[in-house]
Structure 1
Amino acid sequence: MLLYPAVAAGGFRRYATYGTATAAGVFTNTVFGFIVAYTYIALWDERPGLGGYDQAQALTFVWVSQSLLAAGALIGGGFQEELQERVRTGDIAVDLYRPADLQLWWLAADLGRAGFQLLGRGVVPLVAGALAFPLALPADAVRWLLFLVSVVLALVVSFAVRYLLGLAAFWLMDGSGVNMMATVVSILFSGMLLPLTVFPGGFGEVVRLLPWSAMLQVPMDVLLGVHAGAGSAAAALGFQAAWAAVLLAAGRLVQSAATRRVVVQGG
């Protein structure tokens, strides 16, 4: 079992070597955070209490979302492109011969990547936002702990979705199209563009039940105290855990089907 922590540590070190890319990502997240923050200010000035948040909570949603964006690979940048490329070239055969579980290997590596992105690209934008705007960050240590647990579950759900995308290459060979579609869905239904509580009626109820809401909307609501109380917090974390279990199990089934039809191109 020491193998997978070592793989996670390797994933952390791998992304830590890309200093220039990390700095560029920090700059991009910070600038984009300011753009979205001022858009939210204008929107909440016109519609106070929109989505059940006051303006400070809405601004907190913006900046904490920016700190989670790269870690959750909500607009790409995760492992799925590499997995798809290994399927296309046939290098996946080497992975299948390793004395390690394929899904756990990629999960460990992706959690290591996410851990670095949380620190490398998450801290500076959040600090910048806290200095420039009045944020509603909680003072309660228990809520921060619940938020951390929720973030870990969000990362697992995100991995499970992207693992299915990676495995799609066994049938599609080129994953660029499905990756693009997945990015659009993630932007719309995770809460990255607007909190999902803004969406009205039945449509809003449906999107809040989809797995993408477990990647961002649920952790943000845990942090902002929407799920106050032990029962509500447990229900929110249980929702994330249920989606993680379902999607990981689906990944197992698809992996089993995929490995029966490995195609090695180019000899």
Structure 2
Amino acid sequence: MRPLPSLTRNPYWRFLVAGIRGQSAYPLATVAGLVANATFGLLKGGIMGAAVASSGGELAGYSAATMAAFVWLGQGMLGSVNLSGRSDLQTRIKSGDVAVDFLRPVSVQAAHILTDVGKGLFALLPRGLPSVVIGVLVSGMALPPDAAAYALGLASLLIGITVSHATIYAVATSGFWLVETRGVSVLYMALSGFFTGLFTPIYLFPDWLLTVALLTPFPSMMQFPIDVLSGQVTGAAAGQRIGVQLVWLAVVLAVGHLTTRAGRRRLEVQGG
């Protein structure tokens, strides 16, 4: 019997590690991101805190402590989730280099997503965690009530990061037909910032707009992980949010798989 290959020799594990190493090569950019996170966290925290105070101490189910948690956990996630709408795949499709990717004996989709997830995971330590620590020091932000909540929160966070990059991959495959995808990226950035809960909790939306948001994968990227990490939801409610995240992850992966297959056929027909 042939021995099973070690994890470190698995090509997909290496893509994940390559993303981590690639992101670690830019320490000054990481520090700049942390400074930006802290600065905007203070501004956003002041605005949202004032909104809660003006509403009598509670706004759409948020107290001052849980609203502070929403602000600072969101700032901590900014370096890990992709809300810009841009990815390396778009550039490779436009230049034609993606043809080389298709010649490799690995999944193009998995390779790109895992590399980007690796970048996001690295950002959690030098940028995400310090942002949350700053939030704890400058505000009375709520924290999960027990160890189980932390475990669920971590799981939700990892799924949210993956949903984000898997969705970006699916969006990037539109380049097989459009070639120039800057307009798509700008539209994605506008929608994702609004519906992920980057600016305000989506629960502040009117009912009809909240329904629209929940029919998209965007809340699974940031709002739901924040809900679980902050202890805003616990137990069955937390499990329900993680379940929704897993459904959206399956959906965007399936969409990305189908558009990759269709895009490859188009590329080959065009002589790529």
Q: What's the secondary structure of 1:262's corresponding residue?
A: helix
Aligned to 2:159: 153
CA distance in 2, matches of 1:125, 1:264: 48
CA distance in 1, matches of 2:173, 2:217: 18
CA distance in 2, matches of 1:154, 1:13: 21
Query: Shift of residue 6 of structure 1?
Result: 1.1
8 Å CA contact 1:88, 1:264 repeated in 2: no
CA distance in 2, matches of 1:264, 1:137: 54
Residue type matched to 2:25 in 1?
A: T
Q: What's the secondary structure of 1:122's corresponding residue?
A: helix
Runs of 4+ with >6 A deviation: none
Q: TM-score when scaled to structure 2?
A: 0.92
8 Å CA contact 1:22, 1:121 repeated in 2: yes
Aligned to 2:80: 71
8 Å CA contact 1:90, 1:264 repeated in 2: no
Q: After superposition, what is the alpha-carbon deviation per residue over 1:120-178, rounded to whole angstroms, capped at 9, x for unaligned?
A: 21022111111111111124111011011101111121112101121111111111111
In the alignment, structure 1 residue 251 sits paired with structure 2 residue 256: yes
Q: What's the secondary structure of 2:124's corresponding residue?
A: helix
In the alignment, structure 1 residue 30 sits paired with structure 2 residue 35: no
In the alignment, structure 1 residue 7 sits paired with structure 2 residue 15: yes
CA distance in 2, matches of 1:143, 1:243: 22
Aligned to 2:267: 262
Q: Alignment partner for residue 130 of structure 2, among 118, 124, 137?
A: 124
Provide structure 2 residue ranges, at least 5 long, that are not aligned to the other structure. 1-6
Q: What's the secondary structure of 2:87's corresponding residue?
A: helix
Matches for 1:1-267 after TM superposition, within 5 Å: 2-47=10-55, 48-76=57-85, 80-229=86-235, 231-262=236-267
Q: TM-score when scaled to structure 1?
A: 0.93
Q: What's the secondary structure of 1:73's corresponding residue?
A: coil
8 Å CA contact 1:8, 1:112 repeated in 2: yes
Aligned CA distance change for structure 1 residues 96 and 194 (closer, same or farther; 3 Å): same
8 Å CA contact 2:145, 2:231 repeated in 1: no
CA distance in 2, matches of 1:137, 1:119: 18
Aligned CA distance change for structure 1 residues 86 and 119 (closer, same or farther; 3 Å): same
8 Å CA contact 1:189, 1:213 repeated in 2: yes
CA distance in 1, matches of 2:38, 2:232: 26
CA distance in 1, matches of 2:216, 2:47: 26
Q: What's the secondary structure of 2:13's corresponding residue?
A: helix
Residue type matched to 2:244 in 1?
A: F
8 Å CA contact 2:81, 2:120 repeated in 1: yes
Of the structure 1 ranges 204-213 and 238-247, higher mean CA displacement relative to structure 2 is found in 204-213
Residue type matched to 2:99 in 1?
A: A
CA distance in 2, matches of 1:263, 1:21: 38
Residue type matched to 1:53 in 2?
A: Y
CA distance in 1, matches of 2:109, 2:138: 41
CA distance in 1, matches of 2:241, 2:61: 17
Q: After superposition, what is the alpha-carbon deviation per residue over 1:31-58, rounded to whole angstroms, capped at 9, x for unaligned?
A: 0111101111111111131121101100
Provide structure 1 residue ranges, at least 5 long, that are not aligned to the other structure. none
**Kindly, what percent of the aligned residue pairs are identical?**
36
Q: After superposition, what is the alpha-carbon deviation per residue over 1:48-90, rounded to whole angstroms, capped at 9, x for unaligned?
A: 31121101100110000000011012235xxx43111111111
8 Å CA contact 1:11, 1:110 repeated in 2: yes
Query: Shift of residue 264 of structure 1?
Result: 11
Aligned to 2:3: none
CA distance in 2, matches of 1:146, 1:7: 26
